[in-house]
């Protein structure tokens, strides 16, 4: 995360990003905040923390939302749903105190009602969900959007495009 943050800042990508869309799983939110969050948080600041202190490890400082793009959590860009416990999200009410500046308003249920212990989402279903996500992205007013998601989500979604990985109106930069 630290190396990616350095690259994103030194390359100028950070200055262009208008919005960060993140999967609502702990590991992606930690990565997104670590890469695109503002510098040092000061207690009592007028802006909320993107991530409170000690939520990543016992000695990790809080990360500020000051001068960072807005963050929004989105269910559509999650990893495969079902069976694997590492792909089940915590409740939104548990996340909000840890990530106060992430917007969770697009998530309809506090609990993870999409994940099932006995059914694994098929690759084709994941790809269809990914295409819905890309459609949602293409309708956003922001044009420079960072998406922090999962490899399985990307692999199966991009496979749906065949050899041409993006529709004409969507620019993908990796």
Summarised one tens digit per residue, pLDDT across range 85-144 is 767 778 889 889 888 889 999 998 888 777 678 877 787 887 888 888 888 998 999 999
Summarised one tens digit per residue, pLDDT across range 2-18 is 888 899 889 998 899 99
Tell me the backbone φ, ψ of residue 114, rounded to 5 degrees: -85, -30
Q: Which residues contact 122 (CB under 8 A, 6 or more apart)?
A: none
Q: Which residues contact 68 (CB under 8 A, 6 or more apart)?
A: 20, 36, 37, 38, 50
When pLDDT is cut at 50, 70 and 90, the band that residue 74 belongs to is: very high
Percent helix, strand, coil in the chain (nearest 5)?
35, 10, 55
Q: Which H helix or E strand runs over 6?
A: helix 2-10
Provide the pLDDT for residue 142.
Answer: 92
Summarised one tens digit per residue, pLDDT across range 20-64 is 999 998 888 888 988 888 876 566 667 777 787 766 655 677 777
Provide the pLDDT for residue 166.
Answer: 52
């Amino acid at each position: 995360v630290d190396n990616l943050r350095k690259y994103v800042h030194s390359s100028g990508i950070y200055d262009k990003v208008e919005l960060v869309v993140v999967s609502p799983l702990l590991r992606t939110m930690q990565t997104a905040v670590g890469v695109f969050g503002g510098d040092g948080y000061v207690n009592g600041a007028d802006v909320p923390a993107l991530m409170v202190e000690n939520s990543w490890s016992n000695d990790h400082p809080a990360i500020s939302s000051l001068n960072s793009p807005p963050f929004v959590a989105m269910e559509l860009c999650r990893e495969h749903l079902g069976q694997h416990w590492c792909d089940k999200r915590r409740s939104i009410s548990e996340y909000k105190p840890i990530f106060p500046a992430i917007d969770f308003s697009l998530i309809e249920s506090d609990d993870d009602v999409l994940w099932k212990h006995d059914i694994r989402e098929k690759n084709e279903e994941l790809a269809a969900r990914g295409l819905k996500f890309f459609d949602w992205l293409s309708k956003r007013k922001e044009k420079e959007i960072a998406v922090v998601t999962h490899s399985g989500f990307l692999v199966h979604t991009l496979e749906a495009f065949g050899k041409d990985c993006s529709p004409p109106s969507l620019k993908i930069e990796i």
